[in-house]
Amino acid sequence: MDVAVFEFGTIAQATDSFSFMNKLGHGGFGPVYKGTLANGQEIAVKRLSKSSGQGPNEFKNEAKLIAKLQHRNLVRLLGCCIHGDERMLVYEYMPNRSLDKFIFDETRCRVLTWSKHFRIICGVARGLLYLHQDSRLRIIHRDLKTSNVLLDSEMNPKISDFGMARTFGGDQIEANTNRVVGTYGYMAPEYAIDGLFSAKSDVFSFGILLLEIISGRKNRGFYHSNQSGNLIEHAWRLWKKGKLLDLADEFLVETGDLSKLLRCMHISLLCIQLYPEDRPSMASVVLMLGSDNELPLPKELGFLFHKKPFEANSSSGNDGSSSRNEISSSLLEAR
């Protein structure tokens, strides 16, 4: 199937000339708008703010490749739009927006019982497996996080922003400026420090996502009244004491299958192990989620989470800034 190339007029009309009312948010690649096509189909338009430096044909070819990635747990790219220097991507619209808006909101997270959480976890794992292994392109996401997991009308999870690092920035940013692209709090240590990415750095991000989904708390900015450290350290301490269940959100414990809940937390600790080779592949993660087989023990996590080996400049929110971090590796090397 060929990717649709939309006329600028069609997109402007669908979004009411990119009206403020239709703005869904603002991510690292630029603002996102909701739109409705003349046939009634709802769309989300990502207006890329940074020029990727690509000519129109190159951009179209990359969009074509991304559009070929089709899986029930990936957001579908419907097409693109080119207007002068501007580049836009047109996605299917996800009415329930992103996962972060549910799990970190005390009222809205009650909409999701444990079984729905588990369905979301398994869906994200399958979507990532498809990107790593089953798709022809073999994509490493590089920025998996709760705001990049969108939810359709039935709360099925769909990973978004896949292919973006490869296509619209990452490789170029790294090649040209020695910087890595990702989000602080989700980046695997080898990626954050040495700029080395692999499918196993995505597995690390998946582990963090899993911890966040189950605890309802963000790894970044995690606060606990009587101890220091982040969510990972807290999880590790509880694991050592055999009290991992204390990390889970109370509502999940009430509505959940406790052995499955514990199993998911155990899997998350396997995914965030220090050395990439110790982490399971996404194929193993999918198998572990779907079976009751005994799981290996995670290796000591300890070490680096006590220190901040680099300075990350980041911000987040809908104020036009991005939650994306660009960490200069020359800065890292200098320390």
Ligand X SMILES: Nc1ncnc2c1ncn2[C@@H]1O[C@H](COP(=O)(O)OP(=O)(O)OP(=O)(O)O)[C@@H](O)[C@H]1O
15 is a site residue for ligand X (CB under 6 A) = no
Cα distance from N-terminal residue to C-terminal residue, the chain: 49
Smaller CB distance to ligand X: residue 96 or 328? 96
Under the binding rule (CB under 6 A), the answer on residue 143 touching ligand X is yes
The Cα 29–Cα 50 span in angstroms is 7
Which residue number has the CB closest to ligand X? 27
Q: Which helix (H) or strand (E) holds 194?
A: helix 189-194
Segment interacting with ligand X (CB under 6 A) among 26-34, 102-110, 165-173, 216-224: 26-34
Which residue is catalytic, options 134, 143, 194, 249? 143
For 331, the enclosing helix (H) or strand (E) is helix 329-334
Q: Quick check: 219 binds ligand X (CB under 6 A)? A: no
Per the CB < 8 A criterion, the answer to whether 158 and 94 are in contact is yes
210 contacts ligand X (rule: CB under 6 A): no
Find the binding residues for ligand X in span 64-123 (CB under 6 A): 75, 91, 93-94, 97-98
Q: Which stretch binds ligand X (CB under 6 A): 48-56, 134-142, 143-151, 260-268?
A: 143-151
Task: Give the shortest CB-301-to-ligand X separation in angstroms.
Answer: 25
Least separation in angstroms between residue 188's CB and ligand X is 17
* Binding flag, residue 29, ligand X (CB under 6 A): yes
Binders of ligand X: how many residues, by CB under 6 A?
A: 23
For residue 87, the cross-strand partners are 48, 82
- The alpha carbon of 246 is separated from its chain's Cα centroid by a whole number of angstroms, namely 25
User: Does 147 interact with ligand X (rule: CB under 6 A)?
Assistant: yes
Chosen residue from 73, 148, 167, 201 binding ligand X by CB under 6 A: 148
CA separation, residue 130 to residues 127, 141, 285 (Å):
5, 11, 13
| Nearest to ligand X of 102, 236 (CB atom) | 102
Q: How far apart are CA 272 and CA 207, in angstroms?
A: 6
| Residue 46 · residue 91 · CB < 8 Å | yes
Q: How many CB atoms are closer than 10 A to CB 136?
A: 8
Q: Is 325 in the site for ligand X (CB under 6 A)?
A: no
Residue 143 a catalytic site member: yes
Q: Which of 220, 317, 235 is nearest to 268 (CA)?
A: 235
Tokens of 69: 């990635």
Q: Which is nearer to ligand X, 62 or 161 (CB)?
A: 161
Neighbours of 39 (CB within 10 A): 5
**Window 150-179: contact mask with ligand X (x via CB under 6 A):** x---------xx------------------
Q: Does 185 bind ligand X (CB under 6 A)?
A: no
Q: Which amino acid is at 319?
A: D
Distance CA 42, CA 76 (A): 12
Please say which residue, 94 or 244, places its beta carbon nearer to ligand X.
94
Q: Which residues bind ligand X (CB under 6 A)?
A: 24-25, 27-29, 32, 44, 46, 75, 91, 93-94, 97-98, 143, 147-148, 150, 160-161, 322-324
Question: Which residues belong to the active site?
Answer: 143
